[in-house]
Chain A
Amino acid sequence: MITIAMTTGFVLILIGLYGALTNTNILRMIVSFTIASTGVNVVLVSVGYMPGRTAPILDDAVPVGSATTSIIDPIPQALVLTAIVIGLGVTALMLAYAYRLFRIRQTLDISKIVELKW
């Protein structure tokens, strides 16, 4: 179960990086980065999973006394919550800059933007 989730996450990272490396359209690159960051989040959450345990919420199913033996690791989940929110901010920034670039250059194709090439 963990292996499946983790493999899915790593495959998503690879797909995202492949898309970001091979596409020249900036919008496609942004979508690729979003896929890769989703993959990172899936991997992080799956690292915190432990077989036979339940979510870190102390309700009727998890008495307070036995919490240490019946919940999964809550720290990766807190970390991923942060990562998702920051990822959204990064995506919004990338889109805004892509828009500015388009207004200035009238193109979204990075192979036509050659100032930083050597």
Chain B
Amino acid sequence: MIRKFASVVLLLILGYAFYSLVAGFVPDGELNRSAAYYAENTARETGAQNIVTAIIVTYRGLDTLGEVTVLFLTAAIVAQVLSHSRAPAGTRGSGFLPAGELLETGTRLLVPLILLFGVYVFVNGHLTPGGGFQGGAILASAMLLLLLADPMRRFSHRLIAKVESISGLTYVALGVMGLVLAGGFLDNRILPLGQFGALFSAGAIPLIYSLIGLKVGAEFSSMLESLEETEDR
């Protein structure tokens, strides 16, 4: 009881701090300096329509490489932590009920569409809202649907590992090529910028974001698979 009371008091204080933040908040009238720089120069320097994509893939590309690395580490640690309790092959890890006719038939229709949508989202990351992380998550959701429809299904760990390591290596190689051919690590101008707004434009951004999409999709899929393969007792 005292514990609950103490945490409520704590949260009230925090809530008051938040209240003063909201009450004193005045939205900016104009963009701050770095945002204004991105707004003015993104089109000329990177050729990308979507400024958020230009920031993530080019201006702050190194951070994104770090982020993908963190995701890779997470997937590896999840697999390692759960590897002690992997269910034997051929048995279902969890005691799910059978998926049922509707889900199984629906999966056959939906999975190709979801995969196609995921690829669309990350290939068009420089033109429309979306990109590698979102597209990768959509790809992984197709895998989740497959696992829901058939909990006994096992994807090939080797295939997932191959997709992930090849896209990761190519990502780093493209970055190093930027160091040699253009202005710096992960510079997208190793390829011609092309016509503004076309699918094949913005230099290496669509390529890099597609690789990120594949990598993120593979990492999320491997996490899902590790969780699914775990037996519960």
Contacts and interface: CB of A to CB of B under 8 A. Distances in A.
18 contacts: A10-B21, A14-B11, A17-B11, A21-B11, A47-B25, A51-B27, A56-B50, A57-B52, A67-B39, A74-B35, A74-B38, A74-B52, A74-B55, A81-B52, A81-B131, A95-B227, A96-B77, A96-B81
A82 B35 CA distance: 17
B27 to A, nearest CB: 5
B22 A50 contact: no
A24 to B, nearest CB: 10
Interface string B15-55: 10011011001011111101110111011000001111001
B177 interface: no
Contacts of A105: none
Contacts of B60: 78
Contacts of B71: 85-86, 89
Nearest to A3: B22
B74 A89 contact: yes
A110 interface: no
Contacts of A89: 70-71, 74
A107 interface: no
A7 B21 CA distance: 10
Size bin of chain A's contact surface: 35 or more
B68 to A, nearest CB: 9
B3 A50 contact: no
Interface residues of B, number: 61
A85 B216 contact: yes
A86 B52 contact: no
A113 interface: no
Contact of B28 (A10, A73, A93): A73
A56 B51 contact: yes
A8 B85 CA distance: 40
B15 A99 contact: no
Given A10-B21, A57-B128, A71-B51, 11 more contacts: A67-B39, A68-B31, A73-B28, A75-B38, A78-B60, A85-B133, A92-B75, A95-B227, A96-B77, A99-B85, A103-B84
Given A2-B25, A74-B39, A99-B230, A57 B50 contact: yes
A13 B51 contact: no
B158 interface: no
Contact of A78 (B52, B74, B197): B52
A102 B201 CA distance: 51
A28 to B, nearest CB: 14
Shortest 3 CB-CB distances between A and B: which pairs?
A: A89-B74, A21-B7, A56-B51
A68 B197 contact: no
B56 interface: yes
Contacts of B30: 68-69
Interface string B57-75: 0001001100100110011
A49 interface: yes
Contacts of B63: 82
A6 interface: yes
